[in-house]
Structure 1
Amino acid sequence: MPPFHFRVGFGYDVHQLQAGLPFWLGGITVPHTHGALGHSDADVLIHVICDALLGAANLRDIGFHFPDTDPQYKGIDSKKLLAGVLRLLRERGYEVGNVDSTICLERPKVNPHIPAMQQTLAEVMGLDADLISIKATTTEKLGFVGRQEGVAAYATVLVYKTA
């Protein structure tokens, strides 16, 4: 085995948008008339990062570790789920190399909020904000994202074994 053992993980998630809910994205609330619907706070960006990290370490997915059938996770702050995922990875000797993510959303515009998301995620993950890439795009008014019925996100992560 080489001195460093690298692994890559991928995450994908979608959430329906509903009027009157807070819109959590990347660990912060983004001002909008609609928020994501889910069992937790429905932070789609954190959920895809969790899934990508768990996948990289072959630890299944977020629903396996934090099932939406468990009342203790009802309304939970997804930053707590991310902290739990990082604990699982670090217990197995993994550390995060970097995160690359994309949010698909017609409105609101996400770009002005990206630095705050990066800083918030960096604090939770114990990483430099420069290691967390967040991009945003629309779907050019196509599909459920284009009709503003939902939000989607993707993430790829690199992890490496330290022990």
Structure 2
Amino acid sequence: MRIGQGYDVHAFGPGDHVMLGGVRVPHTHGVIAHSDGDVVIHALCDALLGALALGDIGRHFPPNDERWRGADSRTFLRATRQMLEERGYRLGNADITVICEAPKVGPHADAMRVLLADAMGCELDCVSVKATTTEKLGFTGRREGIAAMATVLVTPL
């Protein structure tokens, strides 16, 4: 078994939604990002890659590579899953926390769990998605951006 952790941040910018865990969540802003800026999936990919000492998401899907401009981050997650499986591992469980004052994550958490479990080929109870605020402190508290943290356990196939 191996454990990994991941973290991702994006600043808010123009737009009317954010992508979180593959779910389009209505919001007063979008995010500034090369891909779709899905902090949940980016943190999850970093955690999975870190668990196997494979670097980070930027190493495998560089933000200066035009192939990834506007990309659906589920593409990154599916490729990361393939890397895990090629090395004889699978996701045991993932615990993901979204950090923001808005948008509200709770109403969308179950839909995120379903999409993430499907992309990882695991049972729904292997994926947890929750949210917290920073009590109006820092960049997330000032509503300047959004962040996510992920912790994973990967186990042999």
TM-score scaled by length of structure 2: 0.97
Structure 2: any 5+ residue segments left out of the alignment? none
Q: 1:137: which partner in 2?
A: 132
User: Which of 81, 85, 88 is the equivalent residue of 2:80?
Assistant: 85
| Pairs aligned (count) | 157
Whole-angstrom CA distance in 2 between matches of 1:160 and 1:140: 36
Q: What letter corresponds to residue 98 of structure 1 in structure 2? A: N
Structure 1: any 5+ residue segments left out of the alignment? 1-5
Q: 2:44: which partner in 1?
A: 49
Q: 1:117: which partner in 2?
A: 112
Whole-angstrom CA distance in 2 between matches of 1:110 and 1:49: 16
Q: 1:154: which partner in 2?
A: 149
- Quote the offset at 1:67 in angstroms: 0.4
Q: What letter corresponds to residue 49 of structure 1 in structure 2? A: L
Q: What letter corresponds to residue 93 of structure 2 in structure 1? A: N
The answer to whether the 8 Å contact 1:122/1:132 transfers is yes
SS of residue paired to 2:152? strand
The answer to whether the 8 Å contact 1:21/1:37 transfers is no
Indicate the percent of aligned positions where both proteins have the same amino acid: 55
CA distances 1:59-107 after superposition (whole Å, capped 9, x unpaired): 0010000001110011100001000000011001011100001000101
- Quote the offset at 1:21 in angstroms: 4.9
Q: 1:17: which partner in 2?
A: 12
CA distances 1:24-74 after superposition (whole Å, capped 9, x unpaired): 001010011112211100000000000000000110010000001110011
The runs of at least 4 consecutive aligned structure 1 residues that moved more than 3 Å come to none
Q: Residues 102-113 of structure 1: matches in 2 within 5 Å?
A: 102-113=97-108
Whole-angstrom CA distance in 2 between matches of 1:12 and 1:30: 20
Q: What letter corresponds to residue 156 of structure 2 in structure 1? A: K
Q: What letter corresponds to residue 161 of structure 1 in structure 2? A: P
Moved more, 77-86 or 29-38: 29-38
Q: RMSD of the alignment, in Å?
A: 0.9
SS of residue paired to 1:55? helix
